[in-house]
Structure 1
Amino acid sequence: MTERRVTDAADTAPERTPAATAAPAAGEPRWLGAEEQRTWQAFLNATALLEDHLDRQLQRDAGMPHIYYGLLVHLSEAPRRRLRMTELAHDAKITRSRLSHAVARLEKYGWVRREECPSDKRGQLAVLTDDGFEMLRRSAPGHVSAVRGAIFDRLTPEQVDQLGDICRTIANGLQPASGADLPWLR
Protein backbone atom coordinates (compact mmCIF):
# COMPACT_ATOMS: atom_id res chain seq x y z
CA MET A 1 0.00 0.00 0.00
CA THR A 2 2.27 2.73 -1.20
CA GLU A 3 -0.50 5.04 -2.20
CA ARG A 4 -2.25 5.73 1.09
CA ARG A 5 -1.57 5.70 4.76
CA VAL A 6 -2.26 2.30 6.30
CA THR A 7 -4.99 2.64 8.92
CA ASP A 8 -7.00 0.39 11.15
CA ALA A 9 -10.81 0.51 11.21
CA ALA A 10 -10.88 3.16 13.96
CA ASP A 11 -8.27 5.39 12.33
CA THR A 12 -9.48 7.37 9.36
CA ALA A 13 -6.98 9.49 7.47
CA PRO A 14 -7.97 13.12 7.10
CA GLU A 15 -8.56 14.45 3.61
CA ARG A 16 -5.18 15.61 2.36
CA THR A 17 -4.94 18.92 0.56
CA PRO A 18 -2.10 19.68 -1.87
CA ALA A 19 -0.47 21.76 0.86
CA ALA A 20 -0.72 18.86 3.31
CA THR A 21 0.89 16.42 0.85
CA ALA A 22 3.60 18.88 -0.24
CA ALA A 23 5.31 19.27 3.15
CA PRO A 24 5.16 16.08 5.22
CA ALA A 25 6.75 15.86 8.63
CA ALA A 26 10.31 14.56 8.67
CA GLY A 27 10.26 10.86 7.84
CA GLU A 28 6.55 10.93 6.99
CA PRO A 29 5.61 9.76 3.46
CA ARG A 30 3.80 12.13 1.13
CA TRP A 31 0.49 10.26 1.20
CA LEU A 32 -1.82 10.66 -1.76
CA GLY A 33 -4.65 13.09 -1.31
CA ALA A 34 -8.23 12.00 -1.97
CA GLU A 35 -8.25 13.19 -5.59
CA GLU A 36 -4.78 11.75 -6.22
CA GLN A 37 -5.98 8.43 -4.79
CA ARG A 38 -9.06 8.44 -7.05
CA THR A 39 -6.86 9.26 -10.05
CA TRP A 40 -4.35 6.53 -9.16
CA GLN A 41 -7.07 3.92 -8.75
CA ALA A 42 -8.73 5.03 -12.01
CA PHE A 43 -5.38 4.71 -13.79
CA LEU A 44 -4.78 1.21 -12.41
CA ASN A 45 -8.32 0.14 -13.28
CA ALA A 46 -8.18 1.59 -16.80
CA THR A 47 -4.78 0.09 -17.65
CA ALA A 48 -5.76 -3.37 -16.34
CA LEU A 49 -9.06 -3.29 -18.24
CA LEU A 50 -7.39 -2.03 -21.41
CA GLU A 51 -4.71 -4.73 -21.37
CA ASP A 52 -7.37 -7.40 -20.77
CA HIS A 53 -9.56 -5.98 -23.56
CA LEU A 54 -6.70 -6.00 -26.07
CA ASP A 55 -5.52 -9.45 -24.97
CA ARG A 56 -8.99 -10.94 -25.38
CA GLN A 57 -9.46 -9.33 -28.80
CA LEU A 58 -6.14 -10.64 -30.10
CA GLN A 59 -6.65 -14.11 -28.59
CA ARG A 60 -10.08 -14.30 -30.22
CA ASP A 61 -9.11 -12.87 -33.63
CA ALA A 62 -5.47 -13.95 -34.03
CA GLY A 63 -4.82 -16.66 -31.42
CA MET A 64 -2.06 -14.69 -29.72
CA PRO A 65 -1.67 -12.52 -26.62
CA HIS A 66 -1.10 -8.78 -26.86
CA ILE A 67 2.58 -9.14 -25.96
CA TYR A 68 3.18 -11.37 -29.02
CA TYR A 69 1.39 -8.89 -31.27
CA GLY A 70 3.65 -6.13 -29.92
CA LEU A 71 6.75 -8.18 -30.71
CA LEU A 72 5.56 -8.74 -34.28
CA VAL A 73 4.94 -4.99 -34.64
CA HIS A 74 8.45 -4.14 -33.39
CA LEU A 75 9.95 -6.60 -35.86
CA SER A 76 7.79 -5.35 -38.74
CA GLU A 77 9.06 -1.80 -38.17
CA ALA A 78 12.74 -2.80 -37.94
CA PRO A 79 15.11 -2.68 -40.92
CA ARG A 80 14.80 -5.92 -42.89
CA ARG A 81 12.22 -7.02 -40.24
CA ARG A 82 14.96 -8.15 -37.83
CA LEU A 83 16.25 -7.04 -34.44
CA ARG A 84 18.83 -8.28 -31.97
CA MET A 85 17.06 -10.11 -29.18
CA THR A 86 18.44 -7.66 -26.59
CA GLU A 87 17.10 -4.70 -28.58
CA LEU A 88 13.70 -6.38 -28.97
CA ALA A 89 13.58 -7.02 -25.20
CA HIS A 90 14.43 -3.36 -24.59
CA ASP A 91 11.80 -2.12 -27.07
CA ALA A 92 9.12 -4.41 -25.58
CA LYS A 93 10.23 -3.67 -21.99
CA ILE A 94 10.35 -7.35 -21.03
CA THR A 95 13.05 -9.58 -19.62
CA ARG A 96 15.25 -11.48 -22.02
CA SER A 97 13.99 -14.70 -20.45
CA ARG A 98 10.35 -13.79 -21.13
CA LEU A 99 11.30 -12.69 -24.66
CA SER A 100 13.10 -15.97 -25.32
CA HIS A 101 9.98 -17.88 -24.27
CA ALA A 102 7.73 -15.67 -26.43
CA VAL A 103 10.01 -15.97 -29.46
CA ALA A 104 10.08 -19.77 -29.04
CA ARG A 105 6.25 -19.76 -29.25
CA LEU A 106 6.31 -17.44 -32.26
CA GLU A 107 8.84 -19.77 -33.92
CA LYS A 108 6.43 -22.70 -33.42
CA TYR A 109 3.74 -20.68 -35.22
CA GLY A 110 6.23 -19.97 -38.03
CA TRP A 111 5.93 -16.21 -37.50
CA VAL A 112 9.49 -15.57 -36.29
CA ARG A 113 12.84 -17.27 -36.73
CA ARG A 114 16.15 -16.75 -34.97
CA GLU A 115 19.41 -16.13 -36.74
CA GLU A 116 22.94 -15.75 -35.46
CA CYS A 117 24.08 -12.15 -35.30
CA PRO A 118 26.78 -11.70 -37.98
CA SER A 119 28.60 -9.02 -35.97
CA ASP A 120 28.49 -10.84 -32.61
CA LYS A 121 28.48 -14.62 -32.44
CA ARG A 122 27.03 -14.48 -28.91
CA GLY A 123 23.99 -12.51 -30.07
CA GLN A 124 20.88 -13.63 -31.89
CA LEU A 125 18.49 -11.85 -34.19
CA ALA A 126 14.72 -12.29 -34.18
CA VAL A 127 13.41 -12.15 -37.74
CA LEU A 128 9.79 -11.67 -38.75
CA THR A 129 8.92 -14.28 -41.38
CA ASP A 130 6.60 -13.70 -44.31
CA ASP A 131 3.96 -15.78 -42.50
CA GLY A 132 4.41 -13.61 -39.42
CA PHE A 133 4.08 -10.44 -41.47
CA GLU A 134 0.92 -11.84 -43.07
CA MET A 135 -0.53 -12.70 -39.64
CA LEU A 136 0.23 -9.16 -38.49
CA ARG A 137 -1.38 -7.72 -41.65
CA ARG A 138 -4.54 -9.80 -41.10
CA SER A 139 -4.82 -9.06 -37.37
CA ALA A 140 -3.99 -5.32 -37.49
CA PRO A 141 -7.46 -4.09 -38.59
CA GLY A 142 -9.21 -5.80 -35.66
CA HIS A 143 -6.55 -4.63 -33.24
CA VAL A 144 -6.67 -1.00 -34.34
CA SER A 145 -10.46 -1.13 -34.11
CA ALA A 146 -10.19 -2.40 -30.53
CA VAL A 147 -7.68 0.33 -29.63
CA ARG A 148 -9.76 3.03 -31.31
CA GLY A 149 -12.96 1.87 -29.61
CA ALA A 150 -11.32 1.58 -26.21
CA ILE A 151 -9.44 4.89 -26.25
CA PHE A 152 -9.63 7.32 -29.14
CA ASP A 153 -13.36 7.17 -29.88
CA ARG A 154 -14.04 7.98 -26.20
CA LEU A 155 -11.80 11.06 -26.04
CA THR A 156 -11.98 14.53 -27.52
CA PRO A 157 -9.04 15.67 -29.66
CA GLU A 158 -7.91 17.81 -26.71
CA GLN A 159 -8.04 14.81 -24.38
CA VAL A 160 -6.00 12.76 -26.87
CA ASP A 161 -3.34 15.49 -26.84
CA GLN A 162 -3.43 15.62 -23.02
CA LEU A 163 -3.20 11.84 -22.73
CA GLY A 164 -0.18 11.82 -25.06
CA ASP A 165 1.51 14.59 -23.07
CA ILE A 166 0.78 12.84 -19.76
CA CYS A 167 2.06 9.47 -20.96
CA ARG A 168 5.25 11.00 -22.41
CA THR A 169 5.86 12.91 -19.17
CA ILE A 170 5.46 9.75 -17.09
CA ALA A 171 7.63 7.66 -19.44
CA ASN A 172 10.36 10.31 -19.61
CA GLY A 173 10.43 10.55 -15.82
CA LEU A 174 10.76 6.80 -15.47
CA GLN A 175 13.58 6.30 -17.99
CA PRO A 176 16.29 4.60 -15.95
CA ALA A 177 19.79 5.94 -15.77
CA SER A 178 22.38 4.11 -17.80
CA GLY A 179 23.76 1.18 -15.88
CA ALA A 180 20.53 0.71 -13.94
CA ASP A 181 19.30 -2.80 -13.22
CA LEU A 182 16.92 -2.99 -16.18
CA PRO A 183 14.52 -5.94 -16.47
CA TRP A 184 15.18 -6.31 -20.20
CA LEU A 185 18.90 -6.76 -19.53
CA ARG A 186 18.34 -9.70 -17.16
Structure 2
Amino acid sequence: MVEIFNERNRQFYDYWKQLPRAEGSLLPYRSSFLPEEIPDLLPNLLLFEVISKDFMKIRLQGTTIDEQYGSDMAGANYLDFVEPKRREVAASAFLMMAETPCGIVARLDQLLTTGRYVTVEAIGFPLLNDRGDNPIIIYSSNELRRSNRFTFEDEYQLHYIYVLDREIIDIGAGAPEFHDLPDDDH
Protein backbone atom coordinates (compact mmCIF):
# COMPACT_ATOMS: atom_id res chain seq x y z
CA MET A 1 0.00 0.00 0.00
CA VAL A 2 1.34 3.38 -1.00
CA GLU A 3 1.90 5.87 1.82
CA ILE A 4 0.15 9.20 1.15
CA PHE A 5 0.30 11.80 3.91
CA ASN A 6 -1.66 14.73 2.47
CA GLU A 7 -5.46 14.34 2.56
CA ARG A 8 -5.97 16.17 -0.76
CA ASN A 9 -3.46 13.86 -2.42
CA ARG A 10 -5.34 10.88 -0.95
CA GLN A 11 -8.58 12.27 -2.47
CA PHE A 12 -6.80 12.70 -5.83
CA TYR A 13 -5.49 9.12 -5.66
CA ASP A 14 -8.95 7.75 -4.83
CA TYR A 15 -10.50 9.80 -7.67
CA TRP A 16 -7.90 8.60 -10.22
CA LYS A 17 -8.38 4.96 -9.16
CA GLN A 18 -12.14 5.08 -9.79
CA LEU A 19 -11.93 6.62 -13.28
CA PRO A 20 -13.24 4.31 -16.02
CA ARG A 21 -10.42 2.61 -17.93
CA ALA A 22 -10.02 2.45 -21.66
CA GLU A 23 -10.88 -1.02 -22.97
CA GLY A 24 -7.92 -3.34 -22.43
CA SER A 25 -5.90 -0.63 -20.66
CA LEU A 26 -4.79 0.08 -17.13
CA LEU A 27 -5.26 3.78 -17.85
CA PRO A 28 -8.22 6.11 -18.15
CA TYR A 29 -8.50 8.55 -21.03
CA ARG A 30 -7.80 12.20 -20.28
CA SER A 31 -11.44 12.94 -21.18
CA SER A 32 -12.67 10.75 -18.31
CA PHE A 33 -10.90 13.03 -15.85
CA LEU A 34 -13.59 15.62 -15.10
CA PRO A 35 -12.27 18.62 -13.14
CA GLU A 36 -15.77 19.62 -12.07
CA GLU A 37 -15.92 16.44 -10.00
CA ILE A 38 -12.98 17.55 -7.83
CA PRO A 39 -13.10 21.38 -7.71
CA ASP A 40 -11.32 21.62 -4.34
CA LEU A 41 -8.29 19.82 -5.77
CA LEU A 42 -7.87 21.92 -8.94
CA PRO A 43 -5.61 24.67 -7.50
CA ASN A 44 -2.93 22.06 -6.80
CA LEU A 45 -3.02 20.11 -10.08
CA LEU A 46 -0.48 20.03 -12.87
CA LEU A 47 -1.07 18.40 -16.25
CA PHE A 48 1.90 17.50 -18.46
CA GLU A 49 2.12 16.20 -22.02
CA VAL A 50 5.16 14.03 -22.70
CA ILE A 51 6.21 15.30 -26.14
CA SER A 52 9.69 13.69 -26.13
CA LYS A 53 12.45 12.75 -23.70
CA ASP A 54 13.55 16.38 -23.83
CA PHE A 55 10.16 18.12 -23.72
CA MET A 56 7.58 17.70 -20.96
CA LYS A 57 5.02 20.37 -21.82
CA ILE A 58 3.14 21.91 -18.91
CA ARG A 59 -0.42 21.87 -20.23
CA LEU A 60 -2.21 23.10 -17.12
CA GLN A 61 -1.11 24.51 -13.80
CA GLY A 62 -3.39 25.22 -10.84
CA THR A 63 -3.54 28.61 -9.17
CA THR A 64 -1.74 27.46 -6.01
CA ILE A 65 1.14 26.26 -8.18
CA ASP A 66 1.10 29.64 -9.99
CA GLU A 67 1.45 31.40 -6.65
CA GLN A 68 4.25 29.13 -5.46
CA TYR A 69 6.36 29.71 -8.56
CA GLY A 70 5.32 33.29 -9.21
CA SER A 71 3.90 32.68 -12.68
CA ASP A 72 1.79 30.44 -14.85
CA MET A 73 4.25 28.14 -16.61
CA ALA A 74 1.60 26.55 -18.87
CA GLY A 75 3.04 25.93 -22.33
CA ALA A 76 6.62 25.78 -21.07
CA ASN A 77 8.91 22.76 -20.93
CA TYR A 78 9.02 21.49 -17.34
CA LEU A 79 12.63 20.42 -17.89
CA ASP A 80 13.62 24.07 -18.35
CA PHE A 81 12.98 24.48 -14.61
CA VAL A 82 15.20 21.54 -13.66
CA GLU A 83 18.93 21.89 -13.04
CA PRO A 84 20.81 20.64 -16.14
CA LYS A 85 22.50 17.74 -14.37
CA ARG A 86 19.09 16.49 -13.11
CA ARG A 87 17.09 16.81 -16.36
CA GLU A 88 17.74 13.27 -17.55
CA VAL A 89 16.57 11.77 -14.24
CA ALA A 90 13.49 14.05 -14.14
CA ALA A 91 12.59 13.12 -17.73
CA SER A 92 13.11 9.43 -16.93
CA ALA A 93 10.49 9.61 -14.17
CA PHE A 94 7.89 10.97 -16.61
CA LEU A 95 8.80 8.45 -19.30
CA MET A 96 8.66 5.57 -16.83
CA MET A 97 5.16 6.61 -15.72
CA ALA A 98 3.98 6.71 -19.34
CA GLU A 99 5.71 3.57 -20.59
CA THR A 100 5.29 1.09 -17.70
CA PRO A 101 2.59 2.54 -16.77
CA CYS A 102 2.83 3.41 -13.07
CA GLY A 103 2.29 6.24 -10.63
CA ILE A 104 4.71 8.13 -8.40
CA VAL A 105 4.43 9.76 -5.01
CA ALA A 106 7.31 12.00 -3.94
CA ARG A 107 8.14 14.21 -1.02
CA LEU A 108 10.05 17.34 -1.98
CA ASP A 109 11.55 20.38 -0.32
CA GLN A 110 10.78 23.46 -2.39
CA LEU A 111 11.94 27.04 -2.39
CA LEU A 112 8.93 29.22 -3.24
CA THR A 113 9.19 32.58 -4.96
CA THR A 114 8.17 34.14 -1.63
CA GLY A 115 11.47 32.90 -0.20
CA ARG A 116 9.66 30.39 1.99
CA TYR A 117 10.79 26.77 2.07
CA VAL A 118 8.10 24.09 2.24
CA THR A 119 7.88 20.33 2.05
CA VAL A 120 5.31 19.10 -0.43
CA GLU A 121 3.98 15.74 -1.42
CA ALA A 122 3.32 15.25 -5.12
CA ILE A 123 1.45 12.28 -6.56
CA GLY A 124 1.11 11.62 -10.27
CA PHE A 125 -0.44 9.18 -12.70
CA PRO A 126 -0.53 8.69 -16.47
CA LEU A 127 -3.62 9.23 -18.60
CA LEU A 128 -4.25 8.24 -22.21
CA ASN A 129 -4.28 11.23 -24.53
CA ASP A 130 -7.59 11.46 -26.42
CA ARG A 131 -6.04 13.81 -28.99
CA GLY A 132 -2.86 12.02 -29.93
CA ASP A 133 -0.06 9.66 -29.10
CA ASN A 134 1.70 11.80 -26.51
CA PRO A 135 1.08 10.51 -22.98
CA ILE A 136 -0.46 12.78 -20.36
CA ILE A 137 0.75 12.84 -16.75
CA ILE A 138 -1.37 14.46 -14.05
CA TYR A 139 0.00 15.47 -10.66
CA SER A 140 -1.47 16.74 -7.42
CA SER A 141 1.04 18.69 -5.32
CA ASN A 142 0.21 19.76 -1.77
CA GLU A 143 2.18 21.20 1.10
CA LEU A 144 2.97 18.91 4.02
CA ARG A 145 4.85 21.26 6.33
CA ARG A 146 7.42 24.00 6.47
CA SER A 147 10.84 22.68 5.52
CA ASN A 148 13.86 23.00 7.77
CA ARG A 149 16.13 23.25 4.74
CA PHE A 150 17.92 26.57 4.39
CA THR A 151 20.19 25.85 1.46
CA PHE A 152 19.98 23.75 -1.69
CA GLU A 153 23.67 23.28 -2.33
CA ASP A 154 24.21 19.67 -3.23
CA GLU A 155 24.26 17.38 -6.22
CA TYR A 156 20.64 16.20 -5.85
CA GLN A 157 19.16 19.64 -6.34
CA LEU A 158 16.56 20.63 -8.86
CA HIS A 159 16.30 24.33 -9.56
CA TYR A 160 13.69 24.98 -6.88
CA ILE A 161 13.04 21.42 -5.77
CA TYR A 162 14.99 18.94 -3.65
CA VAL A 163 13.71 15.35 -3.94
CA LEU A 164 13.53 13.78 -0.46
CA ASP A 165 12.05 10.46 -1.56
CA ARG A 166 10.12 8.96 -4.43
CA GLU A 167 7.95 5.83 -4.38
CA ILE A 168 6.68 4.02 -7.47
CA ILE A 169 2.98 3.09 -7.41
CA ASP A 170 2.08 -0.19 -9.09
CA ILE A 171 -1.19 0.30 -10.98
CA GLY A 172 -1.18 -3.19 -12.48
CA ALA A 173 1.89 -3.30 -14.73
CA GLY A 174 4.46 -3.67 -11.95
CA ALA A 175 6.61 -1.17 -10.11
CA PRO A 176 9.89 -0.71 -11.94
CA GLU A 177 13.01 0.15 -10.04
CA PHE A 178 13.84 3.84 -10.30
CA HIS A 179 17.04 5.57 -9.22
CA ASP A 180 16.84 9.23 -8.37
CA LEU A 181 20.56 9.61 -8.98
CA PRO A 182 22.12 9.99 -12.41
CA ASP A 183 23.52 6.67 -13.69
CA ASP A 184 27.13 7.58 -12.89
CA ASP A 185 26.26 8.32 -9.22
CA HIS A 186 24.99 4.91 -8.10
- Under a length normalisation based on structure 1, what TM-score does the superposition of the two structures give? 0.24
Question: Greater helix share, 1 or 2?
Answer: 1
TM-score, scaled relative to structure 2 = 0.24
More strand by share: 2
Larger RCO (CA within 8 A; separation ≥ 6): 2
